[in-house]
Amino acid sequence: MKQLTTCLGQLSNVWHFYYEFCLVLKMVCGGFGIVCLAS
């Protein structure tokens, strides 16, 4: 049972990292989009 909990913990860490990465990517892309539209 402990192994399953550890596995789920790692999975949620990976998912959280992926979510943060996507958020940063959207912000960067949004920033570039604004710069492109403004210029």
Q: Can you tell me the distance from the alpha carbon of 5 to that of 25, in angstroms, rounded to the nearest whole number?
A: 30
Q: Can you tell me the distance from the alpha carbon of 30 to that of 37, in angstroms, rounded to the nearest whole number?
A: 10
> How many CA atoms, within 13 angstroms, populate the side-chain half-sphere of residue 5?
2
Q: Please provide the DSSP assignment of 1-39 as one string.
A: -HHHHHHHHHHHHHHHHHHHHHHHHHHHHHHHHHHHHH-
What pLDDT is recorded for position 31? 87
User: Domain count of the chain?
Assistant: 1
Does pLDDT of 1 surpass 80?
A: no
> Over the stretch 2-38, which tens digit does the pLDDT of each residue have?
888 898 899 999 999 999 999 999 999 888 888 888 8
* Residue-number span of the structural domain to which 35 is assigned: 1-39
